[in-house]
Amino acid sequence: MNAAAYARLARPGQWVKNGFVLTGLLFGHALGETDVLWAALAATAAFCLMSSAVYAMNDCFDRHRDREHPDKSARPIASGAIPVRSAATFGALLAAAGLALGAWAGPLVAVLLAAYALLNLGYSLGLKRIPVVDVGIIASGFMLRILAGTLGIGIEPSRWLLLCGFMVTLFLGFAKRRAELDRLTGDAGLHRPVLDAYSESFLDGAVLACAGGMLVAYGFYTVSADTVAQHGTDLVPTLPFVLFGTFRYLYRLRHRGGGADPSGELVRDPWLLAAVAGWVATVVLLIG
């Protein structure tokens, strides 16, 4: 068995996205509660397993198109390093393990994991070809992560935080489509059919609208009475990091060919990483 190929199929580099599960621990003041902490870590690990299963499933469906893509042609299934049947079995095992671990974290976590898997199955089977719906599904996947790390383990989520999370993921989703359209130019539709339905002007407008909505929502969250009541302070000092990180991401999207891979952007751009680290450190300092 080619262990390296299976590791690439699982895409552990994308697991950073599952950090959304942990937001409830921080904003719910639950870092010191051992049982809740272990449940949150288990839920995060379960989403890592399930997201890897989803990647394996998507690659099985998209293998023919991936072979024509400048980068995706090197993926294990498209390149022939892993047979389709073996990849499907691997994905099923990952999904089963994820559900089992999620059930240990909490019954609702397992339900949300199953919903995440079904949502992505629908995405792979055709919803990814419907403009706007495709990005909405990506955003919904992140919302399920946040819910798993809050309601799933007994933490009441803030409505403002849920709204901010949804706007962030819509912003990243439309930015991803904009980057793909720019990079693939005239062949965009061959690699991702939904890109034929998008235009640069629409995606630019959607990205800016979501960025604006995200910043406004987060700004209101930092000063809302509920935030002050819950944390004993406002979160205004965290706002500069969010503003800088947003504008830095927009800069990379429009002038550095970035935006197609949010996880990769953190690795490649030290300023963006510094903004995220600064935001986390400031939040911990204020409410930890």
Q: Which among 237, 269, 240 is positioned nearest to 253, based on CA atoms?
A: 269
Q: Are 277 and 196 in contact (CB under 8 A)?
A: no
d(CA 2, CA 7): 9
Tokens 């299976």, residue?
6
Render each residue's pLDDT in the chain as its tens digit; 288 residues: 578 888 888 888 888 889 889 888 888 777 778 888 999 999 999 999 999 999 988 888 878 777 777 777 778 888 878 888 888 999 999 999 999 999 999 999 999 999 999 999 999 888 888 999 999 998 999 899 999 999 888 888 888 888 888 999 999 999 989 888 887 666 655 567 888 888 889 999 999 999 999 999 999 989 988 888 888 899 999 999 999 999 999 998 888 777 677 777 777 889 999 999 999 899 989 986
Torsion of CA 249, 148, 18, 72, to 10 degrees: -90
The pLDDT score that the predictor gives to residue 187 is 61
d(CA 118, CA 165): 21
Q: Which among 148, 152, 154, 198 is positioned nearest to 173, based on CA atoms?
A: 198
The pLDDT score that the predictor gives to residue 40 is 93
Which residues, other chains included, contact 219 with Cβ-Cβ below 8 Å and sequence gap of 6+? 239
The pLDDT score that the predictor gives to residue 155 is 85
The pLDDT score that the predictor gives to residue 194 is 85
The pLDDT score that the predictor gives to residue 107 is 94
